Amino acid sequence: MMGPSHALSGAAAWLAGSWALEHFADYHQSPLAIAVGTAVCAGGALFPDLDLSGKVTRNQGGATVARTFGVFSLFIAEVIEKLSLGVYHATRLSKDPRRNNGHRTLTHTIPFTVLVGWGTTTLCATYGKWAVIGILFFMIGLALRGLFDDWAKRAGWVIVTLVSLAAAWFTFLNLPGDRGYPMIGLAVGVGCFVHILGDLMTRAGVPILWPIPIRRRMWTMVGMPNSIALKTGSKAEVVFVRIGLTVVAVLSAIGLVAPNVLDRFTIES
Ligand SMILES: [Zn+2]
């Protein structure tokens, strides 16, 4: 799947989850908390593809998400890709193929998702608002790049960086400071998980079972058979998947912020 679909799936998952929590568990969140969670989850849903490195020195290549903060994020992508490749080689078994690129390995596993969610929560708990503002800045940047792909391309990475900073600062000023921020860690983790599910729909698949060894393979790629697999950038992905995700996101958002609007459409009994 491409960046915008991943970001949309993260946003839709967080909004639908928040709606379900409010509806069935009476768990209420402020509009700002919902907006922050949605942005962070959309950003988190792009995070695993930061393992697609480009050419840092020439400011080229990488996944869309790697270009969010110009050469800075390209450099991060380079480091994550090489690190992932290192973990791949350190844990591969005799039937795992040789690789010279770490894309779709470590960052596309369940342990990584848990680690990122836990790490984010720990950072926020230890360093409080300053960690929160850093994480928000980074995640909002990724979300902007993914959700508003065309705008981000036209605006360039400097504008994206400045807008993310402003949004993170605004949140910093308005979020209540007297409690931890477990929702931010959860949103990053859920985002990563939703990304893996998205890639699971493709033919190439993801090593979702790592580190469970199966037939002398540690990195078994699990994907869809050719006939039903989503092809990256295909019409099915761009039109149906995105429309479906947008409908889910918009309905959940209306249900959360203005539930009486939806009531008007239900049949009177
Ligand atoms: Zn991916």
SS (H, E, C) the chain: CCHHHHHHHHHHHHHHHHHHHHHHHCCCCCHHHHHHHHHHHHHHCCHHHHHCCEEHHHCEECCHHHHCCCHHHHHHHHHHHHHHHHHHHHHCCCCCCCCCCCCCCHHHCHHHHHHHHHHHHHHHHHHCHHHHHHHHHHHHHHHHHHHCHHHHHHHCHHHHHHHHHHHHHHHHHHCCCCCCCHHHHHHHHHHHHHHHHHHHCCCCCECCCCCCCECCECCCCECCCCCCCCCCCCHHHHHHHHHHHHHHHHHHHHHHHCHHHHHCCCCCC
Predicted confidence (pLDDT) at residue 63 exceeds the cutoff of 90: no
Predicted confidence (pLDDT) at residue 112 exceeds the cutoff of 90: yes
**CA 154 to centroid of ligand 1, rounded, Å:** 24
The pLDDT of 114-119, averaged and rounded, is 95
Q: Around ion ligand 1, which residues have CB less than 5 A away?
A: 48-49, 199
**CA 241 to centroid of ligand 1, rounded, Å:** 16
Predicted confidence (pLDDT) at residue 4 exceeds the cutoff of 80: yes
pLDDT value at position 238? Answer: 77
**CA 179 to centroid of ligand 1, rounded, Å:** 33
Predicted confidence (pLDDT) at residue 196 exceeds the cutoff of 90: yes
Predicted confidence (pLDDT) at residue 41 exceeds the cutoff of 90: yes
**CA 237 to centroid of ligand 1, rounded, Å:** 14
pLDDT value at position 61? Answer: 61
**pLDDT one-digit tens code per residue, 72-103:** 888 898 899 999 999 999 999 988 888 888 89
**CA 191 to centroid of ligand 1, rounded, Å:** 12
Assign 189 a pLDDT band (cuts: 50, 70, 90).
very high
**CA 266 to centroid of ligand 1, rounded, Å:** 39
pLDDT value at position 158? Answer: 92
**CA 112 to centroid of ligand 1, rounded, Å:** 13
The pLDDT of 22-31, averaged and rounded, is 86
- Answer with the residue of higher pLDDT: 5 or 232: 5
